[in-house]
Amino acid sequence: MEPVYLDHNATTPLRPEVWERMRPLMLETFGNPSSAHAFGRKARQALEDAREKASALLGAHPDELTFTSGATEANNLAIFGLRPARAVASPIEHPCVVEPLRRLEAGGAAVEWLPADERGVIAWREPAADADLVCVMLANHETGAVQPVRAIAATLPKGTKLHCDAVQAVGKIGVDFHELGATTLTASAHKFGGPKGVGLLLTRRGTDLKPHTFGGHQQGGRRPGTEPVALAVGMAAALEIATRDLAANRAALAAHRARLWDALRRECAPVVLNGPEIGAADVAPAALNVSFPGCRADLLLMSLDLARVACSTGSACSSGSLLPSPVLRAMGVPDEVLKSALRFSFSPAQTSAEIDEAAARIARCVRMTRNG
In words, the CATH class of domain 16-241 is: alpha beta
Q: Do residues 112 and 127 touch, judged by C-beta distance below 8 A?
A: yes
- Residue 295's CB: how many other CB atoms inside 10 A? 23
- Which pTM value belongs to this model? 0.95
Report cis status (omega within 30 of 0) of the bond before 270: yes
Tens of pLDDT, residue by residue over 170-194, are 999 999 999 999 999 999 999 999 9
pLDDT band of 319, cuts 50, 70, 90: very low
Q: Do residues 201 and 177 touch, judged by C-beta distance below 8 A?
A: no
Tens of pLDDT, residue by residue over 65-95, are 999 999 999 999 999 999 999 999 999 999 9
What does the domain layout of the chain look like in residue ranges? 4-12+246-371, 16-241
* DSSP β-bridge partners for residue 161: 133
Q: Do residues 255 and 286 touch, judged by C-beta distance below 8 A?
A: no
Q: Look at phi and psi of residue 138 and say left if phi exceeds 0, alpha if psi is from -120 to 50, else beta.
A: alpha
Q: How far apart are CA 367 and CA 370, in angstroms?
A: 5
Tens of pLDDT, residue by residue over 114-156, are 999 999 999 998 777 789 999 999 999 999 999 999 999 999 9
Task: Write the single-letter amino acid at 337.
Answer: V
Where in the sequence numbering do the catalytic residues fall? Answer: 317
The burial class, CB within 10 Å (0-12 / 13-18 / 19+), for 286 is buried
Tens of pLDDT, residue by residue over 240-295, are 999 999 999 999 999 999 999 999 999 999 999 999 999 999 999 999 999 999 99
Same fold, 4-12+246-371 and 16-241: no
Question: What is the DSSP secondary-structure string of 253-272?
Answer: HHHHHHHHHHHHHHHS-S-E
Give the DSSP H/E element, type plus range, for residue 71. helix 71-82
Instruction: Assign 3-state DSSP to the chain and report helix, strand, coil percentages, each to 5.
Output: 40, 15, 45
Percent of the chain predicted with pLDDT > 90: 89
Fold (topology level) of 4-12+246-371: Aspartate Aminotransferase, domain 1 (3.90.1150)
